[in-house]
Amino acid sequence: MATFKAIRIDKAEKGTTAALTQFDEAELMDGDVTVAVEWSTVNYKDGLAVTGKSPVVRRFPMIAGIDFAGTVLDSSHPSWKAGDKVVCNGWGMGETHLGAYAEKARVKGDWLVRLPDGISARQAMAVGTAGYTAMLSVLALEKHGLSPKDGPIVVTGAAGGVGSVAIALLSKLGYQVIASTGRTSEEAYLRELGATEIIDRNELSAPGKPLGKERWAGGIDSVGSTTLANLLAMTKYRGAIAACGLAGGMDLPASVAPFILRGVCLYGIDSVMCPLPDRQQAWSRLATDLDPAKLEQMTQEIGLDQVIDTGAKVLAGQVRGRIVVKIA
């Protein structure tokens, strides 16, 4: 039976181990579509998996990687045939189902989205789960009824993957964007993406008042905890915040004041089990609303052998923008 390169995670006496190795095709899990993986990316959750910093992996052995773009090799699913270009993210890949850091993946056809016209496989993974999550967040704010005339949108974790794509999207859609970052040295980068104002994350990371001065119509938050509480407290009347991450913690030390006194809404953004129609809408919008030049500007490329080290850098906040991983 054939083998292929993959980053394999195994249970160890203390925690887990991760290594680039050869994986036996016979060990692939059940699925009705087999894909030749061409590109992947490094997300925050991937960093947790390959470093073992958090128990996100729930099956061993595991192939890490929560998203990929590639070409269908064979399929028994009615929607897919050999040669189709596809994108896949979430659905437990890299956690409960063998994931994307491999030359082959076998998944359920219902998990796949057709690669949109005008987006290459590399660009799709430059977007990746982070960018797709940013798009879902923008869609939530639009569904709430927000538009550029309502006021600025704040984006936290601005220099990270979700933040970078969110700024580029919002800017192209005509919004004034306030970027919150702990890396003020990245101000030029953030302004090039479209941010009109930069604030230090320390302004939002300390405990604040139940209600603060109204500063923004909405926000996209990948930090959580006290930062999210402060975003809510400073959101304008009938505004909304889309929460899509927890880099700062899972807690939410907030009060009900913004909700019952200003009618603020908090939207939870789930990218993992998101229904297929919402996924298709997000990828369709990414194909039209994300400036390819800005996407390339925020993207750097690595090989499969660099993923483990890069995952540690992502957790340490040392990576700007997006990372694409060339698999083949």
Same fold, 3-115+298-326 and 129-268: no
The string of pLDDT tens digits covering residues 117-147 is 989 999 999 999 999 999 999 999 999 999 9
**Residue percentage of the chain with pLDDT more than 70:** 100
pLDDT the model gives residue 14: 87
pLDDT the model gives residue 54: 87
Of the candidate CATH numbers 2.140.10.30, 3.40.1380.10, 3.40.50.720, 1.10.10.10, the domain formed by 129-268 belongs to 3.40.50.720
The DSSP line for 251-308 is: -----SHHHHHS--EEEE---SS--HHHHHHHHHHHHHHS-HHHHHHTEEEEEGGGHH
Residue 202 to residue 218: CA distance in whole angstroms? 19
The string of pLDDT tens digits covering residues 211-255 is 999 999 999 999 999 999 999 999 999 999 999 999 899 999 999
Average the pLDDT over 10-27 and give the result.
94
pLDDT the model gives residue 1: 53
Please tell me the CATH code under which domain 3-115+298-326 is placed: 3.90.180.10
Q: Is the pLDDT of residue 276 over 90?
A: yes
Parse the chain into domains and list their residue ranges: 3-115+298-326, 129-268
pLDDT the model gives residue 231: 98
Q: Is the pLDDT of residue 194 over 60?
A: yes
Over the Cα atoms of the chain, what is R_g? 20
